[in-house]
Amino acid sequence: MTPRLLLVPGLGDSGPQHWQTLWERKYGAARLRQDDPDAPTPEGWSKRLQEVIEATPGDLVLVGHSSGVLTIVHWARLYGGHERVKGALLVGPTDPEAMQTVSLYPVLGSMAPLPMQELAFPALVVASEDDPYVTFERAGEMAEAWGAELISAGEAGHISFENGGYGEWEDGEVLLSECLHAWTPPEISRF
């Protein structure tokens, strides 16, 4: 059975035209909603993710964007992963240790230091080559530390509706499909 998507938005909970919101409707995905989507903390946002994972039945693939990626890697550090999490698509990670990022969004500094240990599940990092919140080189360092594959989205800003008009983000859907295929064991037919 194909795992269920669990969307993990970043600051502001991804607006109505953001690709995560559109995927939620299109795929019937579960969605993490933080109590305060504008005030991230590693412990608080990770705890909420753990609660949603525990309350969502079946195998899961986490789909994080921006500081939602930070939530996932902090959750993995604090909770060690979960046997039902089969993989993660980590899109447009932000760097809470970069001066440029923190100058644009000071609240992101609360998500530092960034966990840099291998994840207990397969992951794919999709990063833009001109993201204002992380350099492509730094995204590569993150992917390597997390044991994830890195994919370039080209010059795609922050891979969000606000700067690029991604809408449903069809290229992301292709990547998601490939990940789901790779992370889902083949069904065994019984006669």
* Residue pLDDT, tens place only, 79-123: 987 899 999 999 999 999 999 999 999 999 999 999 999 999 999
Instruction: Tell me what pLDDT residue 161 has.
Output: 65
Structure confidence by residue, pLDDT tens digits, 131-187: 999 999 999 999 999 999 999 999 998 988 665 556 778 888 999 888 888 887 655
Helices (H), the chain: 19-27, 42-55, 67-79, 99-104, 136-146, 170-183
Whole-model pTM: value is 0.93
Q: Is the pLDDT of residue 31 over 80?
A: yes
| Cβ atoms of residues 171 and 131 within 8 Å | no
Q: Is the pLDDT of residue 190 over 60?
A: no
Instruction: Tell me what pLDDT residue 149 has.
Output: 96
CATH class of the region 4-183: alpha beta
Instruction: Tell me what pLDDT residue 165 has.
Output: 55
Q: Which residue type is seen at 121?
A: F
Handedness of CA 78, 83, 84, 85 (dihedral sign): positive
Give every CB contact of residue 5 below 8 A, 6+ residues apart in sequence: 23, 27, 29, 30, 60, 61, 63, 176
pLDDT (average), residues 30-35: 96
Instruction: Tell me what pLDDT residue 118 has.
Output: 97
Q: Quick one: the chain helix, strand, coil %, rounded to 5?
A: 40, 15, 45
Q: 111 φ, ψ to 5°?
A: -90, 0
